[in-house]
Each structure stands twice: as C-alpha cells, then as structure tokens.
Amino acid sequence: MSEYDAIVVGSGPNGLVAALTMAEAGRRVLLLEGAERFGGGLRSAELTLPGFTHDVCATVLALSLASRALRDRLPDLGVEFAHPEVPAAHPLDDGPAVLIHRDPAATAAGLGRDGRAWQAAVGATARAGFPLVDTLLSPLGLPRAPLAAARYGALGALPATVLARSLFRTAPARAAFAGMAAHSMLDLRAPITGGYGMMLASLAHSVGWPVARGGSQVLADLLVERLRKLGAETVSGHPVTSLRDLPPAGTVLLDLPPRQFLQIADLPAGYARRLGRFRHGPGVFKIDWALDGPVPWRDPEISRAGTVHLGGTLEEITAGETAVAQGRPAVSPYVLVVQAGVADPTRAPEGKQTLWAYCHVPNGSDYDMAPHIEAQIERFAPGFRDRVLARHVMPPAAMQSHNPNYIGGDIGGGAADLGQFFGRPLYSLKPWRTPLKGVYLCSASTPPGAGVHGMSGHHAARLALADLRSGRVRGAGRA
C-alpha cells in the first residue's frame, strides 16, 4: 500500500481545490509546492516598502464568491471579504467616469439612454445567478440553466466590438463594456470576447468585486490550513522535476501548464505533439506602488472604486489590444488598475495606500511599459507620480520567475480564444485526463480556464475519483 492516495503538484487555487476535493473524499493527500509559500497566483508580499502588502497577481476575487468549487467552502474558512463601495470605474477624457455599481439599476441610471440595454444584457446575465455561472464554469457538461445559457451564448459569442456597438449608442457605455471585455487578454474583434465582458460585468452586480482583507495570501493560507485539518501533508519549497521522483500514489494531479508537463513526464508521442501545440496568450507588465495618499483622480468618484479600467474609448482600447494580439506593444495601452485599499485599509500604513496596475504585452516581451502605464494613470489622475513613495516593476520575465506557470508572463494559463476555450489543452471530452495512468492536469490550462475559481481542480479531482470508483483508471503507466 502506498503512503499517499493522491499527490497534488502546485498550490494555486486549482491545486488547492483539487487537494481539498481528494481529502474530503477520505483520500490521503500530499500537496507539493515548488515555491517557499503556498498559493500560486494568490500570494502576497511586501514588494515596495515595509508595511505595504501587495498581491503579486490576483486581488479581486469575484469568481471565488461565484464558483461552485469555493463558494460553499468559504463560510467555514473564515476569510473576510472587503467590498469597495463601487466595484469598478471607467474614466473618460470628456465627461464623468462610468461607475459600475453593485446595483445594476444604479449602473443603468448612470448610462442614460443606454441604461435599458445594460439591464437587458448585463443585468439579465446577473439575474440568471449561480446556475448560469456554474454552466459557464463547466463548459463540457450539461447546462444547469439551458435557457439562460442560450440567451447568454447568442450575445456572448460575438466580438466585444460588435456587441458593444449593437447594444449601446453612447461612447461611455461602449467604453465601459470594452474595459470589461479586455480582461480576456484577446483582440476585442475576436469571437466570444463579448461573453467575457458580459460575465465579468454581471459578477460586479451579482456577487461584487471584493478583495480578501489582509491580502489574497490569506485565502491561500486558510485553504492550506483546511487541508492540514483533513490530514493532508503539505510541503512547500519542493519543486518537482520528474514524475519518476514522486512517491507512489494512485492519483497524481498537476496544477501545471502543458509546457511544464512535457518537461517532467515521458508522454506518448502523439499526445505530446498535440500538447505541444497549446498556445499561450499575451503576458502582463505589472507595477506595484506604495503611495503617500489616495490617487488624485480628476473625477473624485473614482476614489470609491476598487478596480479602474484605463484606456479611454472602445476604439482606443480595441486598438491597444489589437496591437498586442499582433505582437506589438501598445503605446497607449489598456491599463487595469486595482486600488485595494479603498476596501481594505489594512494593506498600508494609516493615510498611505497600495496600488497596482498592469497592461497586456506580447508574450515574453521585454519592452519597458512602465512609462506608458504611468502616463495612462496621469492622464486621468494628474499629479499621480508625485504620490509615489516606491515602485516595484514586474515585466513578463519576472512574472514567470515568480510563478513558472506564467509562461511568458501569461497569467491566464494559455490563450483563451474560441479555439482554446473548449480545447484546453487539447480537444477531448475529458481534457483533464492524460494518457499516463492516474495522472491528471488541473491547471488553468484546462477548462474552464483562468480565474480564482478552482473549477479546473474541481473537475480534475472529481474525474479522478470517478475513475477510481469505476475501477477503470485510464492510462498506460506513469513512466
């Protein structure tokens, strides 16, 4: 008998959920993490100055509240979520910022004659609730909300540019929708980018866009603590360079992208070729700041928002994201800004504030985007640079160094376009299962993709348990 029933490699949200799912099923679990701290994309650190807590990657945790893999576990964990008064804002050059409120009616009121269209598209998506979210986070299963999914799919399949121009007549509404859709890290002229925009905007209404009080690391640490209470063994600072080096175990779950899997496993040639064709998306260029006070936004209403989308109009944002998709840095980039201190003042000394922002860049780019990011902030917050006490810059190479899953700075685990929305990491009805006996992939490179939802780990672990129960563990041997 082996010492462990299941080994999980990697402790990002998906690895943690996979480990919990196995442990809760009574399996003896070993969790291995290559970094010194658990959490993957949930890690926090004092990147700038003592007393300033920065999230290295994920901060806004809307999907954690909405995901079936996490929402039922969160009450027992004790994590405290802090909600900004306004989930998101989109400033404009020639008028007030668009504010995305928790209440879709309040958002619609600020959009004037486009308010009704916002309610009909984004508001309806929010009202569909968890059944629709569960359907979208389980893209290869039977829909829990078939009618809502059909309505969502009819609009969401469209490019964001087409959907924005079809739904909305005013520049502010179109710009706000583009800011949502650009989270996809895709050319906004590409199919399904409209769906990304609708879903993210609807989450602001249905569950909010909160942060974990004290930093995202708190959520990771509480998940690890829960694992230990279930009897799991957790080991950090233990990189895995070969599957042959793992202790014996009936099940192995890998929170790794295809490229790393290819490096540590001997795979059948055909499967390896297919896996090698998996494409990574753009990288991110990220800056964290320690500020001596709040950002001096030209529109003071933005000071109430946790997330701010910078880039101006639909046309400007589209041009920037198109450039990145074509392999060129955007001189005037779309910039995603998070001011976590609006909701959680514990992250900085009294009167001070943390801030981070990133823009998209071609995968692996070494182009210095820091001046362009700060110029976009200054555009809407004159005097911002005067508030900076310290900054910490992470180009794509630094992002990958921090987390080897971020190939070329790709924090999404692979391009999330139409071809790879279902074919992650390759086309299969059970893409989490590999040809190796008892070995499964559970990273964001498998469905449903990026986000702090844990559903890739949930799907992989449930499939592994089903294979064990059936007695038909697939594969030809781990070696």
Contact call for residues 10 and 452 (beta carbons, < 8 A): no
Same domain for 301 and 391? yes
The arithmetic mean of pLDDT across residues 73-86, rounded, is 96
Same domain for 175 and 188? yes
pLDDT digits (tens, 9 = 90+) for 238-282: 999 999 999 999 999 999 999 999 999 999 999 999 999 999 999
The arithmetic mean of pLDDT across residues 445-455, rounded, is 97
Same domain for 115 and 190? yes
Question: Phi and psi at residue 288, in whole multiples of 5°?
Answer: -110, 140
Looking at residue 145, what is its pLDDT?
87
Q: Where is 7: in which H helix or E strand? A: strand 4-9
Looking at residue 427, what is its pLDDT?
94
Boundary residue ending a domain (382, 404, 426) = 404
72 domain residue, yes or no: no
335 domain residue, yes or no: yes
Same domain for 356 and 439? no
CB atoms within 10 A of CB 278: 21
What is the C-alpha to C-alpha distance for residues 178 and 175, in angstroms, rounded to an integer? 5
Looking at residue 141, what is its pLDDT?
84
What is the C-alpha to C-alpha distance for residues 287 and 414, in angstroms, rounded to an integer? 22
Angle between helices 124-136 and 146-156 (to 10 degrees): 100
Q: What tokens were used for 23? A: 């442990």
Distances 270 to 90, 274, 279 between C-alpha atoms, Å: 47, 6, 17
Same domain for 464 and 428? yes
229 domain residue, yes or no: no
The arithmetic mean of pLDDT across residues 439-464, rounded, is 98
Question: Phi and psi at residue 235, in whole multiples of 5°?
Answer: -130, 120
Boundary residue ending a domain (384, 404, 424) = 404
The arithmetic mean of pLDDT across residues 398-403, rounded, is 97
pLDDT higher than 80, residue 478: no
pTM above 0.85, yes or no: yes
Amino acid symbol at 14? N
Structural domains of the chain, count: 3
Vertex 308 angle, CA 306 and 312, to 5°: 165
What is the C-alpha to C-alpha distance for residues 194 and 174, in angstroms, rounded to an integer? 11
Residues 6 or more apart from 470 whose CB is under 8 A from it? Answer: none
pLDDT digits (tens, 9 = 90+) for 371-385: 999 999 999 999 999
pLDDT digits (tens, 9 = 90+) for 9-41: 999 999 999 999 999 999 999 999 999 999 999
221 domain residue, yes or no: no
Q: What tokens were used for 77? A: 């964990």
Asked whether the bond before 425 is cis by omega within 30 degrees of 0, the reply is: yes
Looking at residue 1, what is its pLDDT?
40
Q: Is 112 left (phi over 0), alpha (psi -120 to 50) or beta?
A: left
Same domain for 428 and 370? no
Looking at residue 142, what is its pLDDT?
83
Same domain for 198 and 107? yes
Contact call for residues 213 and 81 (beta carbons, < 8 A): yes
180 domain residue, yes or no: yes
Contact call for residues 89 and 308 (beta carbons, < 8 A): yes
Average pLDDT of the residues of the chain? 96
479 domain residue, yes or no: no
Same domain for 273 and 417? yes
DSSP for 255-315 reads: ---HHHHHHH----HHHHHHHHT-----EEEEEEEEESS----SSGGGGGEEEEEES-SHH
Same domain for 422 and 461? yes
Looking at residue 472, what is its pLDDT?
64
Contact call for residues 224 and 217 (beta carbons, < 8 A): no
What is the C-alpha to C-alpha distance for residues 298 and 340, in angstroms, rounded to an integer? 19
Same domain for 179 and 266? no
Q: Which domain holds residue 91?
A: 43-67+82-96+282-404
pLDDT digits (tens, 9 = 90+) for 157-193: 999 999 999 999 999 999 999 999 999 999 999 999 9
Looking at residue 476, what is its pLDDT?
44
What is the DSSP code (8-state) at residue 342?
A: G
What is the C-alpha to C-alpha distance for residues 291 and 282, in angstroms, rounded to an integer? 28
Which residue has tokens 């995968």? 363
Vertex 404 angle, CA 398 and 405, to 5°: 115
Same domain for 364 and 343? yes
231 domain residue, yes or no: no
What is the C-alpha to C-alpha distance for residues 278 and 258, in angstroms, rounded to an integer? 7
Looking at residue 475, what is its pLDDT?
45
Asked whether the bond before 448 is cis by omega within 30 degrees of 0, the reply is: yes
Boundary residue ending a domain (160, 191, 207) = 207
Same domain for 120 and 145? yes
326 domain residue, yes or no: yes
pLDDT digits (tens, 9 = 90+) for 95-140: 999 999 999 999 999 999 999 999 999 999 999 999 999 999 998 8
pLDDT digits (tens, 9 = 90+) for 302-354: 999 999 999 999 999 999 999 999 999 999 999 999 999 999 999 999 999 99
Coil/strand/helix, residue 129: helix
Amino acid symbol at 77? L
DSSP for 386-405 reads: GGEEEEEEE-HHHHHHH-TT
Q: CATH code at 349?
A: 3.30.519
Query: Which burial class, exposed, middle or buried, applies to 36 when counting CB atoms under 10 A from its CB (0-12, 13-18, 19+)?
Result: exposed
Looking at residue 180, what is its pLDDT?
98
Backbone Cα Rg of the chain: 21
